[in-house]
Structure 1
């Protein structure tokens, strides 16, 4: 397999989905107007993408291990291309949310397979550096998303943010088809656990949708179903001959266990920040989409610059030391944001975003390096998908925290000048909760111990 072709595709794929996510955040006020969305529906634009990704990521990673990763990576890019074209023609909030659901599934095809192909193409002593480069492409997508998205929305409307994914996914399809050789499936011949996949999807759906409709009776009931369902699901996976999730990966492997837990907590503490700041900057600071995008791009630019350096550093010293220091730096950025007001200077926002950018760079690629390097080659796609599920699960819970606060303080009303004060209270509460989670995550990150002694 041509490892440089694999890296090129991984970089392209690493850019596309984060770019789209960041651009969508900037487009939320425009979506509210043109598709008549209220505050809760705007939250679902991100949440339904994350939910469909979380439900499908591990099953698709497992299928990729059985039937071939190149094939699934190609399908994911084709699905992303088609859904992006469809999005430009969306005429209602319902249609747009359905398309976002499809895009979430396409992202699952892409994430688990591209990272697994990358892990298989490069040796252990170069993996941290390569993961750092790939993570940098993710952050380039995140950094360019706000500014390019802001320009596109301001001059050509919200539909135009899908033009870039259409172009890049087409290039990716051509590269995968003609430059990446078909690889042997690492788990060929093994059965796929359809029952476990359905059970897993029901649990995640119950938890996510339950949080979104709190404090209703059905909300509490669905959350209870999701929590109670975890025990029989784990028991079934332990007894299954070809399980969806290889539970044995968690036995006596503290590096893998706590790397996944740290990822879950870190993304839970950070994913809602961009959404909240986009609304804060445009509603309370009266910035245009382009101006708000220029402010928000500071964090991912820092992440893109330093991620390869930190990934390379994790090849030389223990990843948990690098990742844990990153979690603490993110904590201080969130503490600053928890004190914002309508009169807060933009320089304070910049400082917080720089701290969070450095924190992310220190955490992300070393954490990925630790998790994937602690397991065997045949489980790369499933393990990569597990790590991706922790990332997406964290993002979902982060948005659920925001959605819960919005439900309590704003309800189903649109965000208007008369409820700006309630929005600000909710945002500050969210930042405070996120900061506390970072402290918990730092403990989990430290607890994993040494990779090279694992």
Structure 2
């Protein structure tokens, strides 16, 4: 394989790995500004990041399977194009509803991109070079997490929130040019049938579950949630009997694989709403500008970037599940810090909580991935990786759903104003306390996995 092709692949995967975390964290910083322009209430604002995650969750597994059948580079390229065009149009949105619709298309494009990053590297780099290439691509994730709040805050304050979407257009064009230079195509499941029934069942179930969470405590919200859970059960039963399933559910018979995927789901569920809630808190309650908010929010990803290499080394020298469990414990502690938010809470206290969370996420992520991949045979590495990605997105989506639920209960469908700051703070404290308790369950799940031989 030619060196230029490998270099182009690295450019593609680094930028692609950057896009999803950057888009997620940067738009959270801009929410108060968007709400002011469109007069959006707290619930509607919450749907701006949530609908993107929901779309990503709905389309990630189906498009991953479609890429196996029809070509990874082809689906990846279509995804970049859809993401870029929807970002461009989103920058010209004239209402919250229009922005939400375009966020759906952004999520669809991101799903087509996200599921193919590791596969492109695995296809182009031999085993001896693959680890280094994957490590370089992960740099894009950390850059996205770090620059999302900082650059998002800077762009929002100085150029307006629409500039965040235009910035993604530039990245999308660069990625499109790079991916078009890649030679070859990879269709590991060429000729196999696509499971439309499974894809539709998964999509409908996730939408019902997520929308139901946002509509509580209304009775139809509870009915939607029950319908979504029933749909996921039917999905599991259908997929377990399917010859060519959209998701290989038989792997969940492996106890270690299942428990550590559950721990991953809990970890991402607890992690994603942090930026959303604290962005609103710092700008509404503390009256900070978007740029300053972004700089403060960068404390967590910077800590993650510093300590992630240490976590990787630790998981090589001692049992990975123990390192991951320690990370989950620190996550629970950091969330407990934030569960005491009030109008008088100092920025130093918030930053301390973010440092603890950054260290916790760093110690959990790569060791937990190590356990999951090591728990299956080599032929299932790709499926295990895709399943973990699905758990990550489902966790992110569920976390935002629970945060929206708390807002709906305590704030309601109104704008966040000084007269309801106390209600907003109550919803924030309850959310962080709940996520802290969930992380404690995650510790048990992580420790319960079988010890590696």
> 1:130: how far off?
5.4
Q: Which residue is equivalent to 1:229? A: 231
RMSD: 2.1
Q: Is the 8 A contact 1:320 1:448 kept in 2?
A: yes
Q: Is the 8 A contact 1:49 1:100 kept in 2?
A: yes
Q: Which residue is equivalent to 2:204? A: 202
Q: Is the 8 A contact 1:65 1:381 kept in 2?
A: no
Q: Distance in 1 between matches of 2:263 and 2:134?
A: 17
Partner residue of 2:167 out of 164, 167, 172: 164
Q: Is the 8 A contact 1:284 1:420 kept in 2?
A: yes
**Paired residue total:** 450
Question: Which fold has the larger relative contact order, with Cα–Cα distance below 8 Å and residues 6 or more apart in sequence?
Answer: 1
Q: Which residue is equivalent to 2:65? A: 62
Q: Is the 8 A contact 1:136 1:305 kept in 2?
A: no
Q: Distance in 2 between matches of 1:377 and 1:7?
A: 24
The change in CA–CA distance for 1:77 and 1:369 in structure 2 (over 3 A counts) is farther
> 1:133: how far off?
4.5
Q: Distance in 2 between matches of 1:198 and 1:245?
A: 12
The change in CA–CA distance for 1:67 and 1:309 in structure 2 (over 3 A counts) is farther
Task: Please say which of residues 347-356 and 233-242 is displaced more in the overlay.
Answer: 233-242
Indicate yes or no: 2:328 matched with 1:338. Answer: no
TM-score by length of 2: 0.94
The change in CA–CA distance for 1:326 and 1:8 in structure 2 (over 3 A counts) is farther
> 1:318: how far off?
3.5
Q: Distance in 1 between matches of 2:377 and 2:352?
A: 41
- Tell me the secondary structure at the aligned position of residue 441 of structure 2: helix
Q: Distance in 2 between matches of 1:450 and 1:119?
A: 28
Q: Is the 8 A contact 1:330 1:355 kept in 2?
A: yes
Gaps of 5+ in 2: none
Indicate yes or no: 2:224 matched with 1:216. Answer: no
Q: Distance in 2 between matches of 1:358 and 1:123?
A: 32
Q: Which residue is equivalent to 1:282? A: 283
Indicate yes or no: 2:35 matched with 1:32. Answer: yes
Indicate yes or no: 2:244 matched with 1:239. Answer: no
Q: Which residue is equivalent to 1:388? A: 389
Task: Please say which of residues 79-88 and 299-308 is displaced more in the overlay.
Answer: 299-308
Task: Please say which of residues 304-313 and 107-116 is displaced more in the overlay.
Answer: 304-313
Q: Distance in 2 between matches of 1:119 and 1:205?
A: 32
Q: Is the 8 A contact 1:61 1:382 kept in 2?
A: no
Q: Which residue is equivalent to 2:306? A: 305
> 1:378: how far off?
5.6
Q: Is the 8 A contact 2:123 2:186 kept in 1?
A: no
Q: Distance in 1 between matches of 2:63 and 2:313?
A: 29
> 1:207: how far off?
0.8
Q: Which residue is equivalent to 2:109? A: 106
Indicate yes or no: 2:106 matched with 1:81. Answer: no
- Tell me the secondary structure at the aligned position of residue 314 of structure 1: helix
Q: Is the 8 A contact 1:327 1:442 kept in 2?
A: yes
